[in-house]
């Protein structure tokens, strides 16, 4: 073969490859445009329900709301990040279910919408006229924060500034005091009449309650100067549920038996009295274990008459799942919390001390798609501290079950090197197997030459971080928000630039599971 022939073949192959790439790009754009057209068509004919959710609660309520009204008219459910100006111009009625993150910020999947339409500076908001749109906003928040439901308020006011008409005042829901597991307390009045007939109950659209059995509980940090950290293994009693790394278990805690016994004795009530509620019979003592126990001025006669209205369920506690579904066991990593008087916290106390091995208790799994890893072939940087190891372990376990997974760099912070090496053997095994590529344990105190925090260590790793991000890495952060989470975010902005970090957040390549 002559040199000319070889060059000709190379040119032809290059042209064929280029044509194939062009074909793939055009086909992908056609698919995306068709999906957008379908999305806008659906929205135009019914109700748009858009959500902004950091931990999955707002997303869950949005989907439950859609189930309530979907039988009577078309409904489209979208994360706020996928709501475009075209969507807003074609829809005539909208419900926004949005959480507030941190100190009044938008959740990560609401940042782009806030920047484009609510900041006043977004180019998309300049000419947008929403005078045809009627809307309601359900704002989820925590009243212990100074800027309670701030993003919900910003969205409510921003829609009005764009010409939309509010169907009712902003509805604020305090997640610290109200039950947000179902739609009854948050459903706007304008579509309550659109519910299906009375046969549709709250439980039919809420996440199902699963009965769990405590199988194993292990102290992970014996001798640590910090509070005890426990690994717990739970087994589902009924059919095995499905979940993803990043999802949340809502636990229904209980009082210790001695607390209920003392309360019954104080009020001269019979612990073994048999009661039947909801088709289920049990003793009064057993029933009261997961109920709020009223103070001394409660109406004792109402209870004796069978009126149990003064005994709501104890508030649920939420924990990041620490295992993959393929492991056939749901694991949690829980640090004990203490109240001002030194008593164990409600949820951590129940799980780490009061719940007996083999005992059953109720819990719901809540999907948190914001923290799902869509592609395990991409490199990943896992960053966390303390009980944030739960979310990191789940990601590693899920990735270990996937073929051709990408490299993983784990940066994990604890207190001292002598006592705080939780799951050390498991992590070392992942290193040997290749699931984990690099592991850096960072200690803030103890016998170490450079006591420092995760964010301080990360600040010294600019080259390594840039190398991972340049290869298309995802960044996943799990742990306490006020210390580690805020510090890591600040360092990432310094090392990668605010524009890059913002772009990664918008694209879902930087995910935060913080509490």
Task: Write out the two tokens for 485.
Answer: 């989470």
- Give the list of residues 6+ apart from residue 151 with CB closer than 8 angstroms, or none: 52, 98, 99, 100, 101, 104, 105, 106, 107, 110, 114, 139
Asked if residue 15 has pLDDT above 50, the reply is: yes
Could you give the 3-state DSSP secondary structure of residue 75?
strand
Task: Write out the two tokens for 394.
Answer: 């789940």
pLDDT at 203: 34
- Give the list of residues 6+ apart from residue 260 with CB closer than 8 angstroms, or none: 271, 285, 288, 289, 293
- Answer yes or no: same fold for 210-366 and 369-514: no
CA distance 324 to 494: 33
From residue 242, how far is each of 203, 234, 247 by CA, in Å? 19, 14, 10
* Architecture field, domain 369-514: 3-Layer(aba) Sandwich (3.40)
DSSP letters spanning 457-495: HHTT-HHHHHHHHHTT-EEEEEE-IIIIIHHHHHHHHHH
Asked if 237 contacts 307 with a C-beta cutoff of 8 angstroms, the reply is no
Which homologous superfamily does the CATH classification assign to the domain defined by 45-204? Flavodoxin domain (3.40.50.360)
For residue 514, give the nearest of 420, 410, 383 by alpha carbon.
Answer: 383
Asked if residue 488 has pLDDT above 90, the reply is: yes
Which one is predicted more confidently, 333 or 275? 333
Q: Is 391 exposed, middle or buried (0-12, 13-18, 19+ CB in 10 A)?
A: buried
CA distance 461 to 438: 13
Task: Write out the two tokens for 17.
Answer: 């490859």
Task: Write out the two tokens for 176.
Answer: 């610290």
User: Binning pLDDT at 50, 70 and 90, where does residue 482 land?
Assistant: confident
Query: 210-366 in CATH: which number?
Result: 2.40.30.10
User: Binning pLDDT at 50, 70 and 90, where does residue 195 land?
Assistant: very low
Q: Where are the domains of the chain?
A: 45-204, 210-366, 369-514
Strands 248-251 and 360-366, bridge-based pairing? antiparallel
Q: Tell me the average pLDDT across 347-362.
A: 94
Looking at mean pLDDT, say which of 175-189, 290-304, 408-422 comes out highest: 408-422
User: Binning pLDDT at 50, 70 and 90, where does residue 441 land?
Assistant: very high
Asked if 117 contacts 124 with a C-beta cutoff of 8 angstroms, the reply is yes
Asked if 55 contacts 99 with a C-beta cutoff of 8 angstroms, the reply is yes
- Give the list of residues 6+ apart from residue 195 with CB closer than 8 angstroms, or none: 68, 69, 72
Q: Is 1 exposed, middle or buried (0-12, 13-18, 19+ CB in 10 A)?
A: exposed
CA distance 204 to 67: 9
0.85 surpassed by pTM: no
């Amino acid at each position: 073969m002559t040199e000319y022939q070889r060059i000709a073949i190379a040119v032809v192959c290059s042209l064929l490859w280029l044509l194939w790439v062009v074909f793939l790009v055009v086909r992908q754009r056609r698919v995306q445009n068709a999906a957008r057209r379908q999305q806008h068509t659906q929205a135009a004919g019914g109700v748009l329900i858009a959500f902004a959710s950091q931990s999955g609660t707002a997303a869950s309520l949005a989907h439950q709301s859609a189930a309530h009204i979907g039988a009577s008219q078309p409904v489209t459910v979208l994360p706020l990040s996928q709501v475009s100006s075209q969507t807003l111009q074609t829809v005539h009625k909208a419900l926004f279910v949005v959480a507030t993150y941190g100190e009044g910020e938008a959740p990560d999947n609401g940042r782009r919408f806030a920047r484009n339409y609510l900041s006043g500076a977004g180019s998309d908001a300049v000419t947008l006229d929403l005078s045809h749109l009627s809307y309601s906003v359900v704002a989820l928040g925590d009243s212990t924060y100074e800027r309670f439901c701030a993003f919900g308020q910003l969205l409510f006011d921003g829609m009005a500034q764009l010409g939309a008409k509010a169907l009712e005042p902003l509805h604020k829901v305090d997640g610290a005091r109200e039950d947000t597991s179902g739609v009854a307390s948050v459903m706007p009045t304008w579509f309550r009449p659109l519910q299906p007939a009375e046969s549709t109950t709250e439980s039919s659209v809420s996440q199902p309650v699963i009965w769990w059995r405590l199988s194993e509980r292990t102290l992970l940090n014996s001798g640590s100067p910090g509070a005890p950290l426990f690994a717990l293994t739970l087994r589902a009693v009924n059919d095995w549920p499905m979940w993803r790394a990043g999802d949340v278990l809502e636990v229904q805690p209980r009082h210790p038996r001695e607390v209920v016994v003392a309360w019954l004795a104080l009020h001269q009530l019979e612990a073994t009295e048999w009661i039947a509620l909801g088709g289920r019979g049990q003793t009064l003592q057993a029933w009261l274990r997961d109920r709020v126990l009223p103070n001394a001025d409660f109406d004792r006669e109402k209870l004796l008459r069978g009126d149990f209205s003064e005994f709501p369920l104890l508030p649920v506690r939420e924990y990041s799942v620490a295992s993959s579904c393929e492991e056939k066991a749901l694991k949690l990593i829980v640090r004990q919390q203490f109240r001002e008087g030194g008593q164990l916290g409600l949820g951590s106390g129940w799980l780490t001390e009061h719940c007996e091995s083999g005992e059953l208790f109720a819990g719901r799994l809540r999907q948190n798609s914001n923290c799902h890893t869509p592609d395990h072939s991409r490199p990943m940087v896992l960053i966390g501290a303390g009980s944030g190891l739960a979310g990191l372990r789940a990601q590693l376990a899920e990735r270990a079950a996937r073929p051709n997974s990408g490299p993983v760099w784990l940066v994990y912070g604890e207190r001292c090197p002598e006592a705080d090496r939780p799951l050390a053997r498991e992590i070392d095994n992942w290193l040997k197997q290749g699931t984990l590529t690099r592991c850096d344990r960072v200690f803030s105190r103890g016998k170490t030459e450079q006591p420092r925090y995760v964010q301080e260590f990360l600040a010294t790793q600019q080259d390594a971080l840039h190398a991972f991000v340049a290869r298309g890495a995802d960044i996943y952060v799990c742990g306490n928000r006020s210390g580690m989470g805020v510090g890591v975010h600040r360092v990432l902005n310094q090392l990668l630039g605010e524009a890059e970090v913002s772009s990664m957040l918008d694209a879902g390549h930087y995910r935060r599971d913080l509490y």
